Amino acid sequence: MTDTEAEILRRLDRIESRDEIRQLISKYSLALDMRDMDAMAGLFVPDVRVGGGKSGREALRAWLDDTMRQQFDGTAHHVGTTIIEFTDPEQAVGIVYSKNEHEAGAEWVIMQMMYFDKYERVDGRWYFRRRLPLYWYATDLNKPPIGGRKMRWPGREPYEGSFHALFPSWTEYWDRSGPEAGPLAPPAPLEEFIETMRRGNEVHGNRVR
């Protein structure tokens, strides 16, 4: 193999990987909305961590089956805005916006949220290592989510979502009274946009269910 061929194969692997991950994200929506819990669970790494100290695809399947069954008569997860970036050839992170809709008894709950994803390649295939949901609002179709505590599920106390919690820029923006005056930061390197925006920040106390 020539050096040029080696370089081409490396670039081809990268573009194929991003494409496979992009499809992985959409497969999750379809599998979940069609309640194919086996298909859904198979999109995660075999040792995926589930709540309550459990792990593995079977535990995830049981947990999500139950979550869906108790709350919803139907759902749609409509993905949009998507950034996928590689930390090395076998691992990547992603931000994925999703507009979710839920039929929940007498209420039709609309939602805008994003996932902060970690992807991992295992035996040549890309999987979710983790999906961290960050919610902006959940509210009835007829009730604009104005004001605080925008997570308004029927029959539950409203609470704050974590839509802005991953990125320090949100708080800094509101702490200022006008445009920043300092020198402009240089553009983030390719594959480092999310991490540059995140600055090592983590989300704490996020409610996911």
Measured from the CB atom, the residue of 34 and 208 that comes closer to a second copy is 34
Which residues, 88 to 147, sit near a second copy by CB under 8 A? 95, 97, 99, 101, 103, 106-108, 112, 114, 125, 136, 140-142, 144-146
Given 47, 90, 169, 201, the residue binding a second copy (CB under 8 A): 169
Which residues, 10 to 29, sit near a second copy by CB under 8 A? 11-12, 15-16, 18-20, 23, 26-27, 29
Q: Which amino acid is at 105?
A: G
Measured from the CB atom, the residue of 8 and 208 that comes closer to a second copy is 8
Region of 47-55, 59-67, 152-160, 200-208 interacting with a second copy (CB under 8 A) = 59-67
Q: How far is the CB of 205 from a second copy (least distance, A)?
A: 19
- What is the helix (H) or strand (E) element at residue 117, kind and residue range? strand 107-122
Given 89, 91, 188, 207, the residue binding a second copy (CB under 8 A): 188
With beta carbons less than 8 A apart as the criterion, state whether 143 and 152 touch.
yes
Q: Please state the separation of Cα 3 from the chain's center in Å.
A: 37
Write the burial class of residue 101 (CB in 10 Å: 0-12 exposed, 13-18 middle, 19+ buried). middle
Terminal Cα-to-Cα distance of the chain (whole angstroms)? 52
Q: How far is the CB of 153 from a second copy (least distance, A)?
A: 15
Cα–Cα distance measured from residue 84 to residue 54, given in angstroms and rounded to the nearest whole number: 27
Given 72, 86, 159, 193, the residue binding a second copy (CB under 8 A): 193
Given 47, 51, 54, 78, the residue binding a second copy (CB under 8 A): 78
Given 49, 76, 158, 206, the residue binding a second copy (CB under 8 A): 76
For a second copy (CB under 8 A), the number of binding residues is: 84
Q: How far is the CB of 118 from a second copy (least distance, A)?
A: 17
b/e per residue, 128-152, with b = 16+ CB within 10 A? bbebebbbbbbbbeeeebeeeebbb
Write the burial class of residue 14 (CB in 10 Å: 0-12 exposed, 13-18 middle, 19+ buried). middle
